[in-house]
Structure 1
Amino acid sequence: MFTDADAAALYDLLNPWDPEQWPGDGFYDRLVAAAPSVLDVGCGTGSMLCRAREAGHRGRLAGIDPNRAALARARRRPDIEWAEGTAADVGRYAEFDLVTMASHAFQCLVTDDEVRASLAAIRTALRPGGRFAFETRHPQARAWEEWHPSQASDVTDASGRTLRVQHATESVVGDVVTVAETTTEPDGTVLRVERTRLRFLDVPALDAFLTETGFEIEARYGDWEGGPVTGTSREIITVARRT
């Protein structure tokens, strides 16, 4: 047996939010701490916002995600607003100072229509002058070539069960990559296979979508230390402002 709840708990084990260890987590932690109100789109199990509250954030914090099992874990923290939905649904919110899409969640917006609808809704959720912070993997780094079963991760869950998680790229069609995440027991017994489609936009395409939907680029980085985007950058980290 391997349930959606098991998968959500496993995600937290494999991806703990730790700004001391991971520079990307630290980047978002600083932005969230400085913003009076924050909406995290694709919040998953809510680790980023929960840490902000634990660190003393007293403003409005809200998270939205389509994964019910992940939200069930997030809702263990009742002093944060949690909602089920996608980026295109956030237009019902209003006047946040900061909207975030961390952990490459933006790449789950695959079609042009999804990107436009999501950016328009995020703009609506921001107060005038509010900021939208997110990152995507730079296509020039070809990260999908590194997603191979040989790079499997083993982890022991809360019940003491050892699990193995591996990723494999199944297809690359234009700028859309399909990757399969397979969870197995150590003997190879398959417990779960989850496929995800990810879009790899380059800087010109990304900026065209942002400009079209009413954003201007406030800051752009190629790494989590604040360096510029270069010919070897693995990330496109963007802070855009609602115009």
Structure 2
Amino acid sequence: MFSDADAAALYDRLNPWDPDLWPGDAFYDGLVAAADSVLDVGCGTGQMLHRARERGHTGRLAGIDPDRAALDRARRRADVEWVEGTAAQAAWHGEFELATMTGHAFQCLVTDQELTASLAAVRAALRPGGRFVFETRHPQARAWESWTPANGSEVTDPTGRTLWVEHRIESVTGDVVTFTETTAEAGTVLRTDRSSLRFLAAATLDTFLAAAGLVVEDRYGDWHRGPLTADSREIVTIARRP
């Protein structure tokens, strides 16, 4: 058996939040530290907000995510607000200086309806002048082409089991990529999860942002605030509620 709780714990092992090691984490870490109130949309296991508290953030911190097992891990810290729900279900109004979506969580908004409803809810949660910061993988980099069993990884989970995690593409339809993630132990499949991600071009992304009443303030092609170019692998966006 490999439960949802096991999967959440393994996620933390595979994706530790470490601003000293990962430039993307450092990028967000600085923004969170400078904001007096932060909403992390798609907060997962809450690692970013946990670290903010550990580093002395004294303002309001809140996270929302639909994954109950991930939130159970997040709730190990009770000095952060944790809400179970999707981005579109966020019900705050004018309460946050900063909203974030890290770990390419924005790409989980696959349909136009999901995007429209989610961006509307994020805008509503921001106070006037508040910023929404997120990243998506640039479609020109075709990151999904490396998501193959040959590029799988061996990892030791928190219980000491040696596991193999691999990905396999099922389909690429327009700008939506559907794939599976399989977790196995000693050749025995323990779990297979299916996901879809949307790879939006910058121009299409900006159309959705504008329709939601968000203004693009800054746009980067990497975590060092470099320009968006033909070689960029990321589209990092800072949007503002006027």
TM score, norm. by length of structure 1: 0.98
Q: How many residues align?
A: 242
Aligned to 1:76: 76
Shift of residue 157, structure 1, vs aligned partner:
1.6
Aligned to 1:218: 217
Aligned to 1:204: 203
Shift of residue 115, structure 1, vs aligned partner:
0.4
Q: Is 1:234 equivalent to 2:233 in the alignment?
A: yes
Cα RMSD for the two superposed structures:
0.8
**Cα distance in 2 between the residues matched to 1:46 and 1:71:** 7
Q: Is 1:190 equivalent to 2:189 in the alignment?
A: yes
**Cα distance in 1 between the residues matched to 2:84 and 2:22:** 27
Shift of residue 134, structure 1, vs aligned partner:
0.2
Task: Map 1:16-95; keep pairs closer than 5 Å.
Answer: 16-95=16-95
Aligned to 2:8: 8
Q: Is the 8 A contact 1:95 1:128 kept in 2?
A: no
Shift of residue 158, structure 1, vs aligned partner:
2.0
Q: 5+ unaligned residues in a row in structure 1: which ranges? A: none
Q: Is the 8 A contact 2:94 2:128 kept in 1?
A: no
**Cα distance in 1 between the residues matched to 2:55 and 2:211:** 36
Identity of aligned residues (%): 70
Shift of residue 92, structure 1, vs aligned partner:
3.4
Counterpart of 2:165, as a letter, is V
Aligned to 1:178: 178
**Cα distance in 2 between the residues matched to 1:84 and 1:103:** 18
CA deviation vs aligned residue, 1:127-163 (integer Å, no higher than 9, x gap)? 0010000000000000010100111111112221111
Name the SS of the counterpart of 2:110 in structure 1.
coil
Q: Which runs of 4+ in 1 moved over 4 A?
A: none
Q: 5+ unaligned residues in a row in structure 2: which ranges? A: none
TM score, norm. by length of structure 2: 0.99
**Cα distance in 1 between the residues matched to 2:54 and 2:38:** 15
CA deviation vs aligned residue, 1:82-118 (integer Å, no higher than 9, x gap)? 0100100113354200000000000000011110100
Counterpart of 2:229, as a letter, is T
Name the SS of the counterpart of 2:155 in structure 1.
strand
